[in-house]
Chain A
Amino acid sequence: MNGVEVSPWTLRYVAVAVASFLLAQALMVLGLSYPIRPLAAPATLATVHLVTIGWLTLLMLGVLHQFIPVIGAKRLHSQAASGVTFWLVAGGLVLLVLGFLSMPSLLLPIGGTLVLAGVLIAVWNLGVTLAASRPLRLPALYVTASLCFLTLTVLLGVSFAVALTLPEVFAPATIGALLTRGIALHLLGGIGGWFGLTAMGVADRLLAMFALAPEDRGRARHWAFWLVSVGIGASWLAGLILTLMPSPVVQDIGMLGWGALFIGVALYLFDMRELFRRRRRRELEANAVFGRVSLWALGVAAAMTAFAGVLSQFASLAPALVYALLVGWLSGLALSQLYKIVPFLTWLERYGKTLGKTRVPRVQDLVVERRARPMFWLYFGGAAVGTLGMVVVSEWLLRLGALLTLVGTLGIAREIWLVRHPKTEPVPSDRQSA
């Protein structure tokens, strides 16, 4: 009898991730990043990487070390390796942030290498677990693809760190290409490939599971995955080839890839609408309600992309697009799912042994949604204000948006903290948990 154990590391990843996100938002409120500072300013880069590595990467890695065993019905290959990844990525992040703030500094390539080492261990650890659980179902396919993009993105990141601090390693032309087209690949692979595909796969499973929606929702569900992952892969590869040599054919393939990605996202949103439409649970819990709101943010980002394409304004709308994706969709989804994952794991840890023998509280008795829901609205309101601030390049709107998301995140983090550290013991509610 195997079964999956609760990972002792997941909640540590979550704690450092939430702390990084709070710090990054505080820096934005203080005006220490774009648009008050330039996009490539040290403080902006430090803030962005607190969000991307500290918050989203640590969070997703922590969750995947629990999620992949559960969806694949296979034990995690190594819990110890999960701990090593945690320390390497968290330690690397600290050096990276200090490195950005003292650019050019050797701390950048050192920190980057630590993050890379942690990520490679995670990819190996999770990859072996995935391989043991073949044949892979759709959520596992999403995660497999996303782990490939994670590796590529971090490899590129380390190359930037080396190019910035030890330029003699590369030919001057390579540095030029790296720091222009390379950055675009870093963004595409990181946001679309790593965060995007992970978020899509995890949401496909978690939202269906907790909203009681069927898995056989039709072809769109599968087409969405293939179009998005192959689309990102094709535009990524095309971008890489184009840094080495100009080729109109490859450029066309790249454009096709973007097209496939766009259609894939549209199909995904359609499928998610089906998921909610065909659910059997009428009253949704906060994780599903706000998971759905985060999908609206993805929809808004997709609409912005279409709009930017029509007006040929892609370059000027790109910062707003990135903000809508990172803060609205990905972080919003992450917060909403954490609000389910942490209570669930805590409940298992606390009551697993006595289940069936005594009446225990339900998972929902561990949370107070009445207090959490306004915090989520504050968060998403702030994300909308911040995105608008990015579109019109208004410093004050952006800072106001960041203040609202910061207060919202603090409120949600407090609720999650209280799940772990209740002031009073939760009691079984009247509704029997059966």
Chain B
Amino acid sequence: MMEPKILDVRADLKAGREPLPMIMQAVKGLSPGQPLLLRATFEPIPLYRVLGMKGYGHEAKRIEDGDWEILFSPGEKRGLFGHRSKAAPDDDAAAKTSAEGWPAPVRTLDNRGLTPPEPMIRILSTLEEMGPGEVLEAFNDREPQFLYPELRERGHSIHVEKQDQGAHLLIRHSD
């Protein structure tokens, strides 16, 4: 196994800084096949999903002072809830839009547990508050089919990752 890159965010967490951009930045900087060793003050469960969707498995263990050390290693693609993603044939142009080269999300919406059309309203309202080129991330129970025509109309681009139990959306504000 390749030597893992080590990232310690404990000091940032204690200082109240949001660690996600740093982590995503670090992931971006990994060479192909390289694992990431993350140290944090708590078990970052939401991160498992986010990195799982990027194809990273995780192994967590407790270290001194109740802190956590998690080894994220590239490998099998995992779904939102740790299932293996179904290899659904995806000829949707929507899903094909690659999110590669997009900046890290500046806003995250958890739309799970909302009845339609509320996820769509939240996404469109949040986008109105965002600037050109910024990325919004959203977790939905299902693909928001009626959202796509509105995004297209407004010139925003979307990257969709379908999961067994929902969808992970990255939406980039029009330039």
Contact = CB atoms under 8 A, between A and B. Distances in A.
Given A1-B93, A348-B117, A73 B145 contact: yes
A424 interface: no
Given A3-B152, A73-B145, A212-B115, A356 B127 contact: yes
Contacts of A360: 121
Nearest to B144: A3
Contact of B148 (A3, A215, A216, A355): A3
A416 to B, nearest CB: 18
A198 to B, nearest CB: 20
Contacts, number: 79
A434 B125 contact: yes
A210 B142 CA distance: 13
A181 interface: no
Contacts of A132: 91
Interface residues on A, range: 20 to 34
Interface in A340-379: 344, 347-348, 352-353, 355-357, 360, 363
Contacts of A4: 145-146, 148
Interface residues on B, range: 35 or more
Interface string B134-173: 0000000011011111111100011000100100000000
Given A3-B146, A355-B125, A209 B116 contact: yes
B2 interface: no
B143 A73 contact: yes
Contact of A353 (B115, B121, B123, B153): B153
A433 B118 contact: yes
Interface in A67-87: 69-70, 73
Interface in B88-126: 88-89, 91-94, 97, 113, 115-118, 120-126
B17 interface: no
A434 B138 CA distance: 14
Contacts of A2: 92-94, 148
Nearest to A70: B145
A356 B126 CA distance: 7
B86 interface: yes
A217 interface: no
Contacts of B89: 134
B128 interface: yes
B150 A355 contact: yes
Contacts of A5: 149
A414 interface: no
Nearest to A215: B165
A37 interface: no
Contacts of A273: none
B143 A355 contact: no
Contacts of B97: 1
A434 B121 contact: yes
A215 B166 CA distance: 11
Interface string A388-428: 00000000000000000000000000000000000000000
B121 A1 contact: no
A1 B150 contact: no
Interface string B73-94: 0000000000000101101111
Given A1-B97, A73-B92, A344-B116, A355 B121 contact: yes
B117 A347 contact: yes
Given A1-B157, A73-B92, A434 B122 contact: yes
A237 to B, nearest CB: 32
Interface string A312-331: 00000000000000000000
A363 B116 CA distance: 9
A132 B88 CA distance: 11
A350 B165 CA distance: 30
A135 interface: yes
A73 B118 CA distance: 19
The residue in B88, B94, B115, B162 that gathers the most chain A C-beta atoms within 10 A of its C-beta is B115
The residue in A1, A70, A355 that gathers the most chain B C-beta atoms within 10 A of its C-beta is A1
27 contacts: A1-B93, A1-B148, A1-B151, A1-B157, A1-B158, A2-B94, A3-B94, A6-B146, A132-B91, A134-B89, A209-B142, A212-B113, A280-B113, A281-B115, A347-B117, A348-B146, A352-B149, A355-B120, A355-B125, A356-B121, A356-B123, A356-B125, A356-B126, A356-B127, A357-B128, A363-B117, A434-B125
Interface of B: 86, 88-89, 91-94, 97, 113, 115-118, 120-128, 142-143, 145-153, 157-158, 162, 165
Given A73-B143, A356-B124, 11 more contacts: A1-B151, A2-B148, A3-B145, A3-B146, A135-B86, A215-B165, A281-B115, A352-B149, A356-B121, A434-B121, A434-B122
